[in-house]
Amino acid sequence: HFANGRVRGYIVTSKETLVKDAPSLSHWTPNVYCYGEYADPARTYIKGFEEKNLSQINTFVVDIDTKDHSINDILLACIDESIGEPSLIVESPRGYQVYFLLDKPFFISNKNDFRSLKVVKRIAENIKQSLAEVGADQYCNDFGFFRVPTDDNIRWYSEARYTPAELIQWSQRVDDDHGRTLYVVPRKLTTNNLLHAEWFTALLHATDIKGKKGQLGRNNTLFTLALTCFQEGIDKGRTYDMMDEFNSNLRYPLNIFEMRAIINSAYSGEYRGAKREYVEALLETYVHNGGDIKVNLGSTYWYKHKKARKDRVRSHYDEWENDIIAYLKDLSVPDEPFVWLTQKELCAALKMPQ
């Protein structure tokens, strides 16, 4: 309960207590904090629930402070514009709170100026922006207090759960999409490129990479390396050979099918370059003294328009999407509104890689 600019409540330290007390509670923090404390001798008010005191992120919650949009509107916005189907929608007196639950948490550390916190805050920001059209509060505390879900206020529930890796990759894609109007064209100012950078070499030679709960792992490392090769214009075949050697040197290598899928994703045209936050997190986790390595992602120049498609080897994701829409429109007729094609036939018709 919020009163006089302070938070009135008590601190719960176990899931068992939370489940038992839930029917009598109005608000809670679905994400875990390192500690909390009481702000007065009577133990009526609590404090310490600040972002830099977070221990782990279990869920991302979006506050919609209006009922101008229906539950169906919110569901469609989540599926079409955001990360996907929400796990939970809770009704509040003035709107709704939309939950996206994780199957395993992000763990927050104070290392390197709370780098992990910056990553989850970027994800939270992108989720909120993706739901702006249905009234998502862009200024709500990302990891604060939210209404306790009950049988009376839950308006939607599903088994949808998201992994940290899925959210990171989705967030990377959103970041790239935000750069569409000012397309970044990498230009090398010296004969050196990113493949000669200290951070790239350090990750390429790291061998004890696996990953665990809430931690970036092999998939993220291989994707980052392959994406950097794509950014540098390296032939996919050469990148495959390089990543195959990297994977073979790992103590816990990925299987060949996973490795191919990751390289294909990096070369799909959906992503346009590695993100500094993710590179730094990988260095810190898997390279000795990696936090001291400077991450240089190359110099870039900004242009108001994309390079013409005819002048590029690869097409971007949005261009492929438009090609498919135009092709299907050409094929469809009023008497036959449905078009039946295999993926292979569609790709062959549009000269698009599968």
pLDDT at 152: 93
Instruction: Return the pLDDT at 142.
Output: 85
* Residue 142, SS3 per DSSP: coil
pLDDT per residue as tens digits for the range 209-226? 887 655 678 988 999 999
Six-digit token pair at 59? 């869920």
Q: How confident is the model at residue 145 (pLDDT cuts 50, 70, 90)?
A: confident
Helices 236-249 & 256-266 angle (0-180, nearest 10): 140
Inform me whether the pLDDT recorded for 242 exceeds 50. Answer: yes
Which residue ranges make up each domain of the chain? 2-165, 179-303, 315-350
311-321 tens-digit pLDDT: 555 555 566 77
Q: Give the confidence band of 310 by pLDDT, cuts at 50, 70, 90.
A: low
**Residue 99: pLDDT above 70?**
yes
H-type alpha helices, 82-235: 111-130, 164-178, 198-204, 218-231
Residue by residue, DSSP assigns 40-56 as STTS-EEE---GGGEEE
And the tokens for 43? 């133990």
Q: pLDDT tens across 225-241, in order?
A: 999 988 888 888 889 98
CB 253 within 8 A of CB 262: no
How much is the mean pLDDT over the chain? 80
DSSP letter string, 199-263: HHHHHHT-------TTS--HHHHHHHHHHHHHHTT--HHHHHHHHHHHHHHSSSPPPHHHHHHHH
Give residue-wise pLDDT tens across range 154-196.
999 999 999 998 898 888 888 776 653 223 333 433 334 788 8
Checking if the pLDDT of 293 tops 70, the result is yes
The number of CA neighbours under 13 Å toward the Cβ of 74 is 28
Q: Are 275 and 172 in contact (CB under 8 A)?
A: yes
Q: Indicate the pLDDT class of residue 309, thresholds 50, 70 and 90.
A: low
At residue 20, does pLDDT exceed 70? yes
Does residue 101 have a pLDDT over 60? yes
pLDDT at 102: 95
Residues 6+ apart with CB under 8 A from 288: none
Per cent of the chain over pLDDT 90 is: 31
What number is the average pLDDT over the span 132-157?
Answer: 90
pLDDT of residue 1: 46
The highest-confidence range among 40-54, 56-70, 193-207, 219-233, by mean pLDDT, is 56-70
Give the separation between CA 165 and CA 73, rounded to whole angstroms. Answer: 27
Q: What is the pLDDT of residue 174?
A: 82
Separation of first and last alpha carbons in the chain: 54
Phi/psi-derived region of residue 187, left when phi > 0, alpha when psi is between -120 and 50, beta in every other case: beta
pLDDT at 67 > cutoff 60: yes
pLDDT for position 306: 47
